[in-house]
Amino acid sequence: MKKGLCLGICLGLLGGMLAGCGQGAAEEPLPGTEETLSEKETEETADISMYHKMTVDIRQTYQTMESFGTSGAWWSQYVGGFTECVDDSGVSSRERIATLLFDREEGIGLTCYRFNLGAGSADSRKGTYSDIHRRAQSFETEEGVYDFTKDANAVWFLEKAVELGVEEVVLFCNSPLERLTDNGTAQTTAGEKSNISPENYGAFADYVMDVAEHFLEEGIPVKFLSPINEPQWEWTEGQEGAHYEPGQTAELYLAFLDELESREALADVKLSGPESGEWGGRALEYTKALLADERLAAHFDTLDNHSYWSDETAKKSYRNYMKVYHPDVKLRTSEWCEMVNGSDVTMDSAFHLAQEIAEDLRILNVVSWQNWVAVAPGGYRDGLIYIDEKSQKFRALKRLWSFGNYSRYVRPGYVRVDIQADAREQEKMLPTAFTGVNEDGKEELVMVFINDSVTAQEFVLEGCGDYDRIAVYETSDARDLECVLEDAFSADAPVTVPEMSVVTVVLKKE
């Protein structure tokens, strides 16, 4: 992918020259910066009192991050077959897309992948579907008999994701197997409160765990099993789906827990749920139903929900409830996309995605954040990459790179720490900060800033005097997560986050 020319700098260092980093770094001052740099180089001392402050306190810690990820639903089953080369790289479309998603050098380094265990609607052709790709195969050919050569394209992406660095795989179901449902389809009958009878819960669990054992034997790091997806919705058409009332979710999870505890090979696998579609609405009903049962409460040390239609008030209310009644249970956002029709390839949707991540990190203290669908055909603000099925051509979006401002640099095991702004303008950037030890064994501080205003935001970092080196990465109209600066770090240097950009600042100790 061709990258835009540098149009400015993200960080002005007093008393130092701009030092580029990475391939294609600038060897001389960038256009439009000569006068500014010259003025700073002639100053003997810096008057930093004029700048607002962003204060980092690494002693104040919050959640420990586990992953950033995405889902393979509805695209991997055909994109996994894209073996044509559509550019000058000599590499197939599927290889390039996988690299963009999961490779940390050329892509955004996602470490979690949600694999859709289909209910078999693609095999039976039953039900009402507006899009053929919203159907899914199952591995079962008859009760207890499996063909793991099925869904080969989706499995290719699963294996490639792991090869490129995914450490956490979630097997999730939108519906039980069709043969286990009350109406014989992977969609709920209108007016019904469920589509599976309790006597079939155990058989449903058997299927999911048989598949999990197979993938573990193949070296796939299955960490979570999620049998329910957004149980509060009706799911009568459009995609595979199943409705459950809160009490039914608890009963089904108990059946799954019975089976899980009986399988030694799955000793390190946990159940994921309740996968409510939002943090408000009926979310607490489903949470309370799960955690009211002693066995389930003992099992669920994390809870997964989706962030659709969830404002700050809903998130704060959910967080406050959990702080009071279940303070030791960690939260995960396991699905979100911007629910807006129309394609968008600009920074507009990239800002919305980054702001949602920051909000969930800051309000809910989520330890994992996962985007819904990595690849999409366009027409909606969902995928990180748009694909044309006929030509196998694709386009990496600004959403991909703004997500990468978090996922590439905030690695599993990094701890969120406190960062506070002293002005409303800075607080609007939803700053987040994390400490961790990188692959070189060096301590580092990672900070992400979102500036969707038409003016640059400038401030001085306080509490960062122990760090020696700085690197700055920018996503904007002109740049796709590009390294725009690497140099010695001075605590007196004002940081500038350019207008209309998402910026990651990484401070390292030598």
Beta strand ranges found along 22-104 (DSSP E): 52-64, 67-71
Instruction: Give the Cα separation of 106 and 23 in Å (integer).
Output: 12
Residue 23: its pLDDT value, please?
38
Residue with the larger pLDDT of the pair 126 and 422: 126
pLDDT at 47: 57
Return the biggest CA–CA distance within the chain: 80
pLDDT at 89: 86
pLDDT at position 431 over 60: yes
Place of tokens 């000599």: 90
Condensed to tens digits (0 to 9), the pLDDT of residues 405-419 reads 999 999 999 999 999
- Tokens 């827990």 belong to 257
* Residue burial 375-389, b: 16+ Cβ < 10 Å; e: rest: bbbbebbbbbbbbee
Q: Please list the alpha-helical segments (H only) found in 309-397.
A: 312-325, 347-359
Taking only the tens place, the pLDDT of each residue in 369-382 is 999 999 999 999 99
Give residue 241's pLDDT.
Answer: 97
Provide the token pair at 268: 């390190």
Q: Where does the pLDDT of residue 422 fall: very low under 50, low under 70, confident under 90, or very high at 90 and above?
A: confident
At 76, list the tokens: 């991997």
Split at pLDDT 50, 70, 90, the class of 8 is very low
Q: How far is Cα 254 from Cα 244, in angstroms, rounded to an integer? A: 14
Please give the DSSP secondary-structure letter assigned to residue 67.
E
Q: What is the mean pLDDT of residues 334-354?
A: 97
pLDDT for 198 equals 98
- Between CA 285 and CA 316 the distance in angstroms is 16
Confidence class for position 15, pLDDT limits 50, 70, 90: very low
Which helix (H) or strand (E) segment holds residue 210: the answer is: helix 201-217
Q: Which of 207, 146, 135 is nearest to 177 (CA)?
A: 207
Residue 352 has pLDDT above 50, yes or no: yes
Look at 84-98, 210-224, 250-264, 277-291 and tell me which has the smallest mean pLDDT: 84-98
* E-strand stretches of 264-342: 270-271, 274-276, 302-306, 330-335
Strands 415-421 and 52-64: antiparallel
Mean per-residue pLDDT of the chain: 91
Task: Please give the Cα distance from 101 to 90 (Å, whole number).
Answer: 19
- Angle, CA of 357, 171 and 285, to the nearest 5°: 65
The DSSP 8-state label assigned to residue 279 in this structure reads: S
User: pLDDT at residue 333 above 50?
Assistant: yes
Helix (H, G, I), strand (E, B), or coil: what is residue 464? coil
Cβ(318)–Cβ(333) below 8 Å = no
pLDDT at 43 over 80: no
Neighbours of 374 (CB within 10 A): 31
Q: How far is CA 128 from CA 6, 337, 382, 438, in A?
A: 50, 23, 22, 49
Confidence of residue 50 (pLDDT cuts 50, 70, 90): confident
For the segment 24-37, the average pLDDT, to the nearest whole number, is 37
Q: Give mean pLDDT, residues 230-258.
A: 97
Angle formed at CA 295 by CA 293 and CA 296, multiple of 5 degrees: 65
Q: What is the CA radius of gyration of the chain?
A: 24
In this predicted structure, the answer to whether residue 197 has a pLDDT above a threshold of 70 is: yes
With 0.85 as the threshold, say if the pTM is over it.
Answer: yes
Q: What's the pLDDT tens digit per position in 462-500?
A: 999 899 999 999 999 999 999 999 999 988 888 999 999
| Lowest mean per-residue pLDDT among 9-18, 300-309, 464-473 | 9-18
Q: Residue 49: its pLDDT value, please?
A: 60
For the cut 80, the answer to whether the pLDDT of residue 396 exceeds it is: yes
Q: Burial code of 46-61, b = ≥16 C-beta within 10 A, e = fewer?
A: beeeebebbebebeee
SS3 state of residue 242 = coil
Strand partners of residue 240: none
